[in-house]
Structure formats: C-alpha cells, structure tokens
Amino acid sequence: MLTASTKPMTTTARHRTTPSLSDDRTIARPDGRGWIALILLLLIMGAIYWATLDNGLASGDLEGGDLITHQYAQVQARPSNAPGYPLYTMGGWLWFHAWRRLLPQASPIPILSSYSTLWALLALGALYLLLWRATRGNPILTLGLSAFYGVTYFFWYYAVSTEQYASAVLQTLLIVLVVLQWDEDGRERWLDALAFLLGLSLAHMVTVLFIAPGVLAFVLMKKPDLLKRGKLILGSLLLALTPLLAYIYVYVRGAAHPEWWGEGDWDNAWAWFLSFLSTRQGRDELTWSLLPWNPEQLGLFVGELGLFILALGGIGWWLWGRRHVILFALTAVIYLVFSYIDRFGNWYQVIMPLYPLFVAGAGVSLRALWERPPQRLWRVVLSLLLVSMVGIKFVEVYPRADQRDRPQDAGLAPGWAILEQAPPERAAIVGDVREKLALDYLTGVWGVRPDVTAIPTSDIAQAFEEGRAVLVTVNAASYAAAESGLPLCYTAWGPTLLLAGNGVLPQLPLEKMSLVAADVGDGLKLAGYQVLSGGTAPWWVRLALQAEETPAQDWAVSARLLAQGQEIAQVDHVAPALGFTPTASLHPGEIVFDIFAFNPPDGTPPPDALRFILYRQRQDGGFDNLATLDFPITRVIRVDDGR
C-alpha cells in the first residue's frame, strides 16, 4: 500500500523517464519491443500489398501513362518520363532482371509492381522511425499510426502498382529523420547527408525539394553562423549536385536508341537530351491562372487522412516546437500552392510526401493525450481509436486499392491471341492499335517470342523486302492494303490471323493435312482438312480449297462439328481466308486456306465428325448450297505441330 511519502517519489520518477513535449531530446532508436513491432508491421503490410499486387494490364494502361512508361523503362533500361528518373529507373532495371533470372517463367507485371512495394515498405519503416521520435518511443501510437498510413488509399495504391511515388515519400521522410538527428547531436556529417538527400531529388522527383526551404529554415534558426562557412556550403552544394551524374545514363541510352525519343524533331542526341531535361510537356500542363478552383482537391486531400488526423497533425507540429512547425508548415504551404497551380494535373500524386508529415504531427498530439490524466482511460480510448481507424480505413480502401486479378485487366489478350496461332519465325504482324500494343508488351517486356515484331502498315513493304512473313489480323485486314499501297492477298494462318502476299496468294504446304481431293463444284475442290488443338478455343478446323479453274461465283464456307450425328457447333465465313479471299478471285491451281475456331457448348459429347457446306445467299434471301461434305475426325494435332 502506497503511503503519502512514496506517492511524490513515484510521480517524480515518472516525469524523469518520460520526456516532455517541449523537450527537444528524443528517443532516437526503438528498443527491443519497438523493433519487434516494426518487423511485425512490415510483415503484415507486406502481406497485404502482396495480396493486392497489380498483376495485369487493362487496354488503357498499354496506351500510355506513367505506369506503362515505367515498366518499359525498367525492363529495357530506357529513360522514363522526362526528366528520366535515372536513379529510380536504374534500380528498377536491377530489380526486374534479378528476379527474372531467378524466376524466368514468372509474369513480369507483379515483379515490376513489387518494385513499388519495396519502396513503400521502406517508406513505412522510415515513418515508423519518425513516429517513434514523435511519440517519444510509444510503440502503440507508433504502430497504430504507421498502420493507418499504410492503408490510406494513395499510399496503398502506389505500393502495389508500377509508380515511383512511394520512393518520394521515403526520400522525404529520410530528409526529416536526418535533420532531426542533426538537431539532436549537432554532428556535421548529418548536414552532408542532408545535402546529398536533397540533391537526390535532382535525379528523381524534383518536387521533393519543396521541403528544402523548411529544412533550411530549421537548420539556420538553430545555427545561423553556418551561412558564414563557405567551405561547408561549397561541400554541401557539391554533394547536392552529385546525383546529376546519373543523367549520363539518360544521354547514353537515349543516344543509342533514337526510336525512344518520342514526338519531336531534333538534329542530334544532344538537342533531344536538353529538350528532354526541360520537361516541356510537364510544364505545359501547369495552370497558373488564379481561377477556377478545383473542388476535387479538397475532397481528395481530406479523404486521404480525414479531418481528425489533419487537425491532430497541425496541432502536433505546433506542440513539437517553433522550428518544427516552421519546417512542416512551410512545406505544407509550398505543396498546397503547387497543387493549386497544378490543379488540373497530377498534383494528387506529387503531394503524397506531405501526408506522412501530418501523421507524424498527429503522433505528437496523441502522445500529449496519452500522458493526460486519467492516463489509463486515455490510453484505452486512444488504443481503441487507433484500432478502429485502421480497421475502418482498411475496409474502405481495400476494394479500390486491390489491383490483383481485376476483370478489366485483359489488355494483353489480343497479343496472346496472336501468339497462340504460332506465327512463323521473324514474322511481322500488322494489327490494330490494341493488338500492336499488346504484342509489343509481350515480345518486348514479357520476352515471349521476341523474334516476332508488331509493325505499322507503313512498314509492310520493307518486311516483304526483308523476306519476312507478313501476318495481318482480321481487325487490320480491311485497311492494311489501302494504307500500305500494296495489293495484299490473304490466306488464313489462324482463326484471326491472315498470311499476306504481295500481289500473289501465299501458298502453304498440305502434307500435314488429311488429303481428300473432294470435288465441290464451280471449279473448286476440297484439297484437305485438319483438326487442331492448343488455342484458347479447344477446337480449330483448318481446310484447304483449291481452284481447278476460276469459280464463277463467290461462295461462303460453313464448318460444323458433329457428335453422334448431331451438329453441336457452327462457324460461317462469307468467303475463305476468314472472309477476305472471295472464291471468284482465285486463279487455277491456287489453294486458299480457311480456319474456324469452335467452343462447343458445355455438356456436349466430344465431336467425332466434321461437316463443310459451301453456299451463297441469293438476293431474295434464300440460299444455294454448292456442296455438303462430311468427314470423320481421325486425329487431332497441336497448333505448333500442324503447319
């Protein structure tokens, strides 16, 4: 039982072991339980990010934007968006190729996305260390606020998709940690580290420098005589400029690959390089007029942290100390002014490093409440409050931040559909925009069939001159001849792919087909047929029609699957070669191929026979059948083996 004389001693001891909020001294590093809590935090958040990691691409992703630009940059070591993000990109190149060497068959998309996860987890670790200082070593407040920030929408989203913004958050937090460490022990080596960290922005995200005025004010308010030390200033300036050497990589890679320069007209690589560094496109997107105000900004900003954390953050900056409030408040003002100037641009991404500074301020405010009497009540209330905040934010954000297995991530499907038709080696593929973008990604990033190239219609003539097989998709076949200026002739290569000839019908071998030489009529005979498997559609039927003389009519072709005498699936083409080579255009001796892809209804027995019908539709709407031919299915071979 405590006596009256022992109570003051207990109170005094408590005040000695718990620094006051006005005391500049902080607990610099976590203790044993603090490190355990940090490891637990990173493991849990890492599992959450992995479970929601982006692993697919929508068609819109392939059309342009930061995400796809970063992916190509990190795979091919090419400059990213201006001014190139050289340090981030070089790190991404090492990350991607190291993992691809270990997992050569893995999809590149989650590997590229996980590079953002790496930076996000490092940023969370840095925030945890900053909160440890802000809360004077309180593991519950530190863990709770770190977890809360980890499940906020923008941070979570950019932790699981291919973007660089989590690394900007890390850089900003490291700058704050270093300046606070210098404030604690006064060692000039921290000023060197601070100069270098600020200079990294010059080779990464320049907007991280928005914190520089606040940092400079924080330092000079404590040590104004630093302005008189020319040697120190010169050394700091050199350290800050050192990261600019990374732009040698941008110039070297750009000079070696003029095809990466994009739109513009430059006389040489140096002219392109200077234009690239100027970030003309980004500057052109800025809006400097005073009006109108974009109300979306306030909603997104408040929605990210909530008014409660924003208010606690501002109060915490004030409680932390006079120089601290100048550091953080000046940084916030600069970010907010920029976001207003860029109110129709990507301000909501650039402003991300400001959010954890509010969270750090909230840590100071909650620490003050934690120590208020009655302490037990406040600690229970604040613990439950943090758990609730994390849980509510997680439930709210999860459906929006989850990027794994999204239904709309079918952007690569057109490219896979082309490749499953086994194009010949070094084939030049002409497709529509979606098909070209998908094929470019699969061959250039995924590394599937790198010998195959997607080309525009303007390059068809050159491909013929190089002796390459030219394949045209059905989506591009209607305009490829007109745009190329060539008399293209088509025969079917796959269910959606045509082999093109320059003025002559391409001829393919028959030796792997079931040869029947069945007379059809009107100068035509069915030379052979073939049943293939291995594509998305489980059944492909390939036939070869030969003209013994030029037919008088254009005949459509109907192919049907039979099972136990019943038709179970049907596909019609208005002409052979997927509808692109009318029979009346055939010359004697020419053979045209056609291919039909079938998806029989579920529950039907496996097909055992084929039926081919050649027919035409009369002007009165009726039909004339030229021939009906039935054949058994005696063997099924794989697509790759059936050429």
Task: Give per-residue pLDDT as tens, 359-375.
Answer: 999 999 999 999 999 99
Task: Give per-residue pLDDT as tens, 474-501.
Answer: 999 999 999 999 999 999 999 999 999 9
2: confidence class by pLDDT, cuts 50, 70, 90: very low
For tokens 């790496």, name the residue: 118
* Mean pLDDT on 295-301: 81
Closest CA to 547 of 529, 520, 573, 574: 520
| CA dihedral sign of residues 470, 475, 478, 482 | negative
Taking the alpha carbons at both ends of the chain, their separation in whole angstroms is 94
Q: What is the pLDDT of residue 17?
A: 38
Please enumerate in sequence order all residues whose Cβ is within 8 A of that of 204, keeping only pairs 6 or more positions apart, or say none.
Answer: 85, 87, 88, 164, 167, 168, 171, 243
Contact 239, 201 (CB under 8 A): no
What is the crossing angle of helices 139-150 and 32-51, to 10°? Answer: 20
Contact 167, 88 (CB under 8 A): yes
Please enumerate in sequence order all residues whose Cβ is within 8 A of that of 611, keeping only pairs 6 or more positions apart, or say none.
Answer: 558, 559, 560, 561, 562, 567, 628, 629, 630
Residue 564 tokens, joined: 């136990």
Q: What is the pLDDT of residue 640?
A: 72
Check residues 14 and 554 and name the one with the higher pLDDT.
554
Check residues 337 and 360 and name the one with the higher pLDDT.
360
* Mean pLDDT on 11-15: 37
| β-pairing verdict for 539-547 and 556-563 | unpaired
pLDDT for residue 12 is more than 50:
no
Q: What is the pLDDT of residue 1?
A: 33
609: confidence class by pLDDT, cuts 50, 70, 90: very high
pLDDT for residue 18 is more than 60:
no
pLDDT for residue 189 is more than 60:
yes
Q: What is the pLDDT of residue 447?
A: 93
Q: What is the pLDDT of residue 571?
A: 96
Task: Give per-residue pLDDT as tens, 410-455.
Answer: 999 999 999 999 999 999 999 999 999 999 999 999 999 999 999 9
Mean pLDDT computed over every residue of the chain: 91
Q: What is the pLDDT of residue 592?
A: 97
Q: What is the pLDDT of residue 301?
A: 85
Task: Give per-residue pLDDT as tens, 45-92.
Answer: 999 999 999 999 999 999 988 899 999 999 999 988 888 889 999 999
d(CA 642, CA 496): 16
What percentage of the chain reaches a pLDDT higher than 90? 78
Closest CA to 163 of 203, 114, 209: 114
pLDDT for residue 11 is more than 70:
no
d(CA 272, CA 266): 6
Local structure of residue 548 (DSSP, 8 states): S
Instruction: Give the alpha-carbon dihedral of 152, 157, 162, 166, to 10 degrees.
Output: -10
From residue 34, give the alpha-carbon distance in Å to each of 170, 391, 425, 431, 571.
20, 22, 58, 57, 67
pLDDT for residue 641 is more than 90:
no
Q: What is the pLDDT of residue 237?
A: 94
Task: Give per-residue pLDDT as tens, 214-269.
Answer: 999 999 999 999 988 989 999 999 999 999 999 999 999 999 999 888 888 898 99
Q: What is the pLDDT of residue 287?
A: 65
d(CA 532, CA 514): 12
Query: Which domains does the chain show, CATH number per domain?
Result: 27-260+384-401 (no CATH), 414-502 (no CATH), 514-641 (2.60.40.10)
Largest CA distance in the chain: 120
